[in-house]
Amino acid sequence: MKLTIESNIRDYDVVFEKDFHFLEEFKSLKNTIMIIDKNVYTLYKKHFSSLKEEDLFLFDAIEENKTFDYVKEIYDFLLLKSVKRNLTIISIGGGITQDITGFVASTLYRGVNWIFVPTTFLAITDSCIGSKTSLNYDKYKNLMGTFYPPSKIHINTNFLKTLKELDFFSGIGETIKFQLMKEEYPKNFDKIAQSIENIVKDDVARLAMIHDNMQIKLGYMKGDEFDLGRRNLLNYGHCFGHALETSSDYYVPHGIAVNIGMIFANLLSLSRGLMDKKDVDNINNNILLPNIPLKLREEDFDEAILLESMKNDKKRVGEFLTVIIPDANFKMKKCDDVTDIEFSNVFKILKKICL
């Protein structure tokens, strides 16, 4: 199965693979370098056995490596290989692998060809489409980046069989976001809770949900590929979530931080008299909180660090904080007027719920 995604930069195909045979196709490509998450390489080494070791760059796909300093190491590796503009980078891994290799591909020689194979639920169901690459700068999350889609994406859900629980539920967090943002009114929150429960257990349901998530994301991206308007709404849960990643020193992974960020956004909406308390309690207690398989710690919720991080969020446009919240009909709206006091009041309620 294939999905073609239109882009102002270049259209690209998402190909859904049933097994690992597609990796054999890479052998016939000329002028290629493969950049692979070390963990993925170790787990699936037999599928990479035909690759030339001298054309492999293996790395630790951790948040601490999403920096200019680490990207320089990749540039150095590539330039030592005397690569030219006809290079194709094939990257295999999750969202961090995508961010780093996409940034390299977009900047080396002002852009080289790039093929991406996502291996985590989070990357497969969300980040692999959308064209974004991101690097962290100092303590600021995803502050630097480019828009640069791969020329092709290969999705093989067999990679998900070896995911650690936290990595799997990181994908669940983004899945919940998409399903809550699906433009169906009135929302059936009980149905969403059941569908999330189903994809945890069922491979077929999970694949169908991946397709659905992509269509929802594409709907918000249509006409706004470069994130200047409606696509901003996809940051539901991310405003607080990114800050929590920073505050917890990435102990809380991205998708789970987004999950908690959605709880924060819902509570903010309730405090503003928009959402109904019954709906907020239903979503938070029956959809979001049950999908946080992580013992949250007091030290992860440092109010000063969270507030500072939100003030440096790239979505912020004015004096106050920016948060995406649901309105009374559970349609998303961007609020650029959240005060420090309002943040603090909602944060206290969030801490009681999470801790």
How far apart, in whole angstroms, are the C-alpha atoms of residue 243 and residue 155? 30
pLDDT > 90: percent of the chain: 92
- End of a domain among 161, 192, 223? 161
Instruction: Give me the pLDDT at residue 1, please.
Output: 85
Which among 251, 181, 169 is positioned nearest to 215, based on CA atoms?
181
Q: Indicate if 104 and 227 belong to the same structural domain.
A: no
Which positions ≥6 away from 195 have C-beta within 8 Å? 179, 205, 209
pLDDT > 70: percent of the chain: 100
Q: Indicate if 74 and 217 belong to the same structural domain.
A: no
Q: Indicate if 82 and 98 belong to the same structural domain.
A: yes
Q: Indicate if 147 and 177 belong to the same structural domain.
A: no
pLDDT grade for 288, boundaries at 50, 70 and 90 = very high
Which among 169, 95, 179 is positioned nearest to 133, based on CA atoms?
95
CA-to-CA dists, residue 344 to 81, 100, 129, 301, 338, angstroms: 52, 34, 35, 12, 10
Residue 40 has pLDDT above 80, yes or no: yes
3-state secondary structure 159-192: HHHHCCHHHHHHHHHHHHHHHHHCCCCCCCHHHH
Residue 229 belongs to domain spanning: 169-354
First to last CA, the chain: 44
Residue 11 has pLDDT above 90, yes or no: yes
How far apart, in whole angstroms, are the C-alpha atoms of residue 313 and residue 146? 16
Q: Using the structure block, give the residue that is written with the tokens 């630097």.
A: 144
Domain with 223 in it: what CATH number?
A: 1.20.1090.10
Grouping H, G, I as helix, E, B as strand and the rest as coil, residue 260 is: helix
Which one-letter DSSP state was computed for residue 131? -
Q: Indicate if 226 and 114 belong to the same structural domain.
A: no
Q: Indicate if 264 and 155 belong to the same structural domain.
A: no
CA-to-CA dists, residue 60 to 38, 96, 156, angstroms: 6, 10, 21
Q: Indicate if 183 and 322 belong to the same structural domain.
A: yes
Which has the minimum average pLDDT: 24-33, 81-90, 229-238?
24-33
Query: What does residue 276 show for φ and ψ, rounded to 5 degrees?
Result: -80, 140
Q: Indicate if 125 and 141 belong to the same structural domain.
A: yes
- End of a domain among 133, 161, 189? 161
- Omega of the bond leading into 150 within 30 degrees of 0 (cis): no
Q: Indicate if 174 and 157 belong to the same structural domain.
A: no
Pairing of strands 332-338, 321-326: antiparallel
Q: Indicate if 149 and 184 belong to the same structural domain.
A: no
User: Please, is 355 exposed, middle or buried when counting C-beta atoms within 10 Å of its C-beta (0-12, 13-18, 19+)?
Assistant: exposed
Model-level pTM?
Answer: 0.96
CB-facing half-sphere around the CA of 15: CA atoms within 13 A: 17
| 264 bridge partner residues | none
Residue 114 has pLDDT above 90, yes or no: yes
- End of a domain among 139, 161, 183? 161
Could you tell me where the DSSP H helices lie in the chain? 22-25, 38-43, 68-80, 95-107, 121-122, 165-181, 189-201, 203-221, 238-247, 254-271, 277-283, 303-311, 340-354
Q: Indicate if 41 and 128 belong to the same structural domain.
A: yes
Positive or negative, the CA dihedral 182, 188, 189, 190 is: negative
Q: Indicate if 232 and 342 belong to the same structural domain.
A: yes
> Average pLDDT over the chain, rounded to whole?
96
Instruction: Give me the pLDDT at residue 185, please.
Output: 84
CA angle 310, 313, 318 (to 5 degrees): 90
Per the CB < 8 A criterion, the answer to whether 179 and 210 are in contact is no
Which one-letter DSSP state was computed for residue 319? S
Give the residue-averaged pLDDT of 183-212.
94
**Structural domain count of the chain:** 2
Instruction: Give me the pLDDT at residue 336, please.
Output: 96
Per the CB < 8 A criterion, the answer to whether 260 and 252 are in contact is yes
Domain with 141 in it: what CATH number?
A: 3.40.50.1970
pLDDT grade for 53, boundaries at 50, 70 and 90 = confident
